[in-house]
Amino acid sequence: MNDKYILQTKQLTKKYRRSTILNAVSINVRKNTVYGLLGPNGAGKSTMLKIISGLLKPTSGEVIFNGNQWNRKDLAHIGSLIESPPLYGNLTAKENLEVINTILGLPKERIQEVLQIVGLTNTGSKRVMNFSMGMKQRLGIALAILNRPKLLILDEPTNGLDPIGIQELRELIASFPQQGMTVLLSSHLLSEAEHIADDIGIISNGILGYEGKYHSYENLEKLFTDVVRKHRA
């Protein structure tokens, strides 16, 4: 396998009864980049990310992680935030991190490091139930990067955030490749890819209709619309 890719899928397919959610999807995620997986709601993005995260099994096809066929041991090198972050509302940000840090057996210094990375060092004794949605998302990302993953999977991370929260989260995500983390980011918002993605894949009706480097001079809206219309059920 090509060593420039941290993640590849080969003909990944997922079927539920008579419905095909993913139809032979093959993506190639380069190391130390942000890959934007774009598509309308219900296109199959979340299903794909759940398979890569070990939450679902594919019907057929395979996942290649770091040059080898994916197995559950790879989860030690994969961080993910899919749907809502798993937070304890009655605990502080630091206490939430301490719970996972203890389970993973990581050094205590890592807690302060990730709080600094996500900009939550000043939350002190404030309970997570009183955090804004943007703060909760950043804490969710902090939990996902505790183990210094090689691959970070984020499913619609800016959903429900205000414009300031979106901007702060974008800047945070864009900084990860310099820290040795590749980001696989799903979104139905084209602006996410326009601001931070190095490569994009466009999925519609379970089919990958486009994959390539993102160039800021491209009309992403037209490309997206053309792909979605072509593969619409």
The neighbouring-strand residues paired with 213 are 199
Give the neighbor-by-neighbor strand order of the sheet with 207-213. Answer: 78-81, 151-155, 182-187, 34-38, 199-204, 207-213
Domain CATH number, residue 176: 3.40.50.300
What pLDDT score does 194 carry? Answer: 85
Determine the structural domain holding residue 122 and report its residue range.
5-230
What pLDDT score does 42 carry? Answer: 86
- Look at the chain and report how many structural domains it folds into: 1
Does residue 1 have a pLDDT over 60?
no
Cα 114 → chain centroid: 17
> How many residues make up the chain in this entry?
233
Does residue 233 have a pLDDT over 70?
no
**Mean pLDDT of the 191-204 span:** 90
Token code pair at residue 132? 């804004």
Per the listing, tokens 């794909």 go with 48
| Comparison of pLDDT for 218 and 146, the residue scoring more | 146
Do 63 and 6 contact (CB within 8 A), yes or no? no
Q: What is the DSSP letter of 151?
A: E
**Mean pLDDT of the 131-143 span:** 90
What pLDDT score does 202 carry? Answer: 94
Per residue in 170-179, pLDDT (tens digit) is 898 999 999 9
What pLDDT score does 2 carry? Answer: 62
Per residue in 83-131, pLDDT (tens digit) is 778 899 999 999 999 998 998 888 889 999 999 989 888 888 999 999 9
Query: Quick one: pLDDT band at residue 217, thresholds 50, 70, 90?
Result: low
